[in-house]
Structures are given as structure tokens and as C-alpha cells.
């Protein structure tokens, strides 16, 4: 494996070599990928009819009713629509708790509040945080900016109803995976641009940070869309399909492409996690570099030889590392020790 300096790989091509770890499940994923590719060519109505099933929750995950409570609410957003939120409240939750605001992954097209179920339960319990997962409206029925607006409005509702949620409205971490990471990065930009206090950290997992047609390849290395074009779970063709459904038109709008923001100064500290075999790898690394260059405290974690969303396989050793990295980063930066770390 190549050299890594302060979490940043000095080169990235070798990161695309499948790891022994991934090869242990690659055959299982191959069948799923073949089905996923077929679904790109059916009408969206048929795609919706098939339905979405969230990844299974590992047996050792925190248990609702024992370790935490899970509830639902409806939140009205700017156009009068109701958005569902899933609330994870740890046992013995105290007023003024940290809020982890999760925007789910799914390419802006699919997914729901349970997409990162295991992650949300773990953060709620180990970090003693209230977790809110938002069911933003998905494309193509609701193209940009619906998802962005829904997330913004729901997060503002959370701040305005801090007493209901038992949270501190000025101690919020936004986070998500893939498209959810994009929406989380955009929330951080919006709150900064509007001078709204409250977001103290951002967790950007396998993030979408820039449309490939707009990527500033003169500033950052950009090989992963080609090198990893045939990768598993998400390949380049699927990413184009997601983008085409999400955008009314290709644009350099920074609330679509956070990498293209005029400035990344004064953004909250960030944890960025990227996968070596992911077409999105280089835009995730580029965003981490942009944040670091702007003086933002940034931790980059790279998982060589693993594809986009590898963590849907709980049996992979790197999945445990991926989850614990989030718990540790939150604990170190915002809370002190997490549960299970000596307290």
C-alpha cells in the first residue's frame, strides 16, 4: 500500500486493488450488483414498486426498548409537506444532549431513515447522543433542491424544539453516507453562510462532493471515476444514473457541489471516510484536502481495497473500524470518553 501522510494518501491507484477482506464477500455482492444494474433500465414507477429494504441490523447492535428508544414524528417543511423523522434516544437521556443529525444515503433516489440503522443505534448508545434520521424527499419525483430544503427545515425544527428532543440546539453534528454526506456538507455550508449557530461537527462518509462534469481536476487528482468504474455496490454508471435523476440541470451550485464552494473557511471540524475502490474516492479526498487547506480540523480515514458502502457487510473487520472511528471522533472532539472506553 502506498504512503499516507496525515491521513492523506500520496497516490491513489493502488487503493483500488480489492482487498482479501473484500474478496471474502465479493461473490455474494456480484448477484446483487447484477440486479441493481437491471433496475437502471426500468421506469421509476416500477423501481418504486419493487420497494427499498434497508441493510440488516447485526445481532450485536443496541436493542430498542433495552438500550435505547426509537420513535417517529412528522415535521412540516416550507411547502407544507410532512417529513418523517426517526428519533433514537439513549437510555437515561439527559437534557442538553448532543444531536447527531443523519441524512441517509441512497444516491438522492432511494434509501430511508433506516438505511444507517446500526450506525444510528451505536452512536445514540455509545456517544449518549440523540440521533435524528430524516426521510427527505427523493428524486426524480423531487429533484434538487427538495432534499436540501427538507434537511435544512427539519434541522431547524430540531433546534426550535430542543426541549422536546432533550438536545442542546448548539451542539449538533451533521452526518451521512454518500448522498447523505453531500446533504450534510451542504447543511454545514448553509448554516455558515446564513450565520446560524449550532453545527459543531460534520461526518462525511463516502461523500458525494462534486458532479464529475464540474470537478476541478486542475486542483485535485481525479482518477477514481475511471479506475473504479466497474467497482461493486456502486459503479460509475450507477452514479451517473443517480446524478441524472437528482439534477434538473448540471450546475456549479455549491449546494450541489460542496467542493466548489467559494470558501471552506469557518466550517465545523470534519471526519471524512472514503473507500479505495469507490468511484467517489477522489472527490472525498479532495473535499478533505479543501477543508484542511481552509484551516478546518479534518480527519481523513481511507479504506484501501474496499468499495462504496462496504459497511453493509457487518462481518467485514473494516466495518467495525468504520463505525468505531465515528464513535471515537465524536467522543474525542465533543464528549470525552464513549461508553465502553473506561467510563
Residue among 278, 318, 328, 338 flagged as catalytic: 278
**282 catalytic residue (yes or no):** no
The catalytic position among 149, 153, 308, 338 is 308
CB of 122 within 8 A of CB of 88? no
Q: Please indicate whether residue 178 is annotated as part of the active site.
A: yes
User: Residue 334 carries which DSSP code?
Assistant: I
Q: Which three cell numbers stand for residue 114?
A: 433506516
Cα angle 186, 192, 196 (rounded to 5 degrees) comes to 110
- Evaluate whether 325 touches 336 at the Cβ level (below 8 Å): no
* DSSP-derived 3-state class of residue 171: strand
Phi, psi for residue 158 in degrees, rounded to 5: -60, -45
Q: What SS3 class is residue 70?
A: strand
Q: Which residues fall within 8 angstroms of residue 154, CB to CB, at 6 or more apart?
A: 75, 77, 83, 85, 132, 134, 136
Beta bridge pairs of residue 70: 88
The answer to whether 278 is a known catalytic residue is yes
Residues written for the chain: 343
Please list the active-site residues. 178, 278, 308
Amino acid at each position: 500500500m502506498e504512503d499516507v501522510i496525515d491521513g492523506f494518501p500520496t497516490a491513489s491507484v493502488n487503493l483500488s486493488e480489492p482487498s482479501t477482506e473484500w474478496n471474502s464477500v465479493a461473490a455474494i455482492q456480484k448477484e446483487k450488483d447484477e440486479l441493481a444494474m437491471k433496475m437502471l433500465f426500468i421506469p421509476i414507477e416500477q423501481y418504486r414498486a419493487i420497494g427499498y429494504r434497508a441493510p440488516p441490523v447485526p445481532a450485536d447492535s443496541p436493542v430498542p426498548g433495552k438500550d435505547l428508544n426509537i420513535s417517529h414524528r412528522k415535521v412540516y417543511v416550507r411547502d407544507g409537506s410532512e417529513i418523517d423523522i426517526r428519533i433514537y434516544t439513549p437510555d437515561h437521556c439527559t437534557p442538553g444532549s448532543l444531536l447527531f443529525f443523519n441524512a441517509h444515503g441512497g444516491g438522492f433516489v432511494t434509501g430511508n431513515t433506516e438505511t444507517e440503522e446500526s450506525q444510528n443505534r451505536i452512536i445514540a448508545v455509545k456517544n449518549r447522543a440523540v440521533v435524528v434520521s430524516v426521510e427527505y424527499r427523493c428524486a426524480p419525483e423531487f429533484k434538487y433542491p427538495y432534499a436540501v430544503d427538507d434537511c435544512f427545515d427539519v434541522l431547524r425544527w430540531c433546534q426550535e424544539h430542543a426541549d422536546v428532543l432533550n438536545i442542546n440546539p448548539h451542539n449538533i453534528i451533521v452526518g451521512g453516507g454518500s448522498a447523505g454526506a453531500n446533504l450534510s456538507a451542504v447543511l454545514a455550508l448553509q448554516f455558515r453562510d446564513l450565520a446560524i449557530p449550532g453545527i459543531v461537527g460534520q461526518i462525511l462518509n463516502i461523500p458525494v462532493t462534486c458532479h464529475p462534469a464540474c470537478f476541478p481536476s486542475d486542483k485535485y487528482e481525479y482518477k477514481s471515476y475511471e479506475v473504479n468504474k466497474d467497482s461493486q455496490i456502486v459503479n460509475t454508471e450507477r452514479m451517473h444514473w443517480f446524478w441524472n435523476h437528482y439534477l434538473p440541470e448540471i450546475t456549479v451550485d455549491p449546494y450541489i457541489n460542496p467542493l466548489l464552494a467559494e470558501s471552506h473557511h469557518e466550517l465545523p471540524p470534519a471526519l471524512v471516510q472514503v473507500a479505495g475502490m469507490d468511484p467517489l474516492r477522489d472527490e472525498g479526498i479532495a473535499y478533505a484536502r479543501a477543508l484542511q487547506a481552509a484551516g478546518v480540523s479534518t480527519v481523513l480515514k481511507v479504506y484501501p481495497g474496499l468499495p462504496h458502502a462496504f459497511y453493509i457487510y457487518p462481518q467485514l473487520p473494516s466495518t467495525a473500524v468504520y463505525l468505531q472511528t465515528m464513535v471515537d471522533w465524536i467522543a474525542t472532539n465533543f464528549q470525552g470518553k464513549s461508553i465502553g472506553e473506561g467510563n
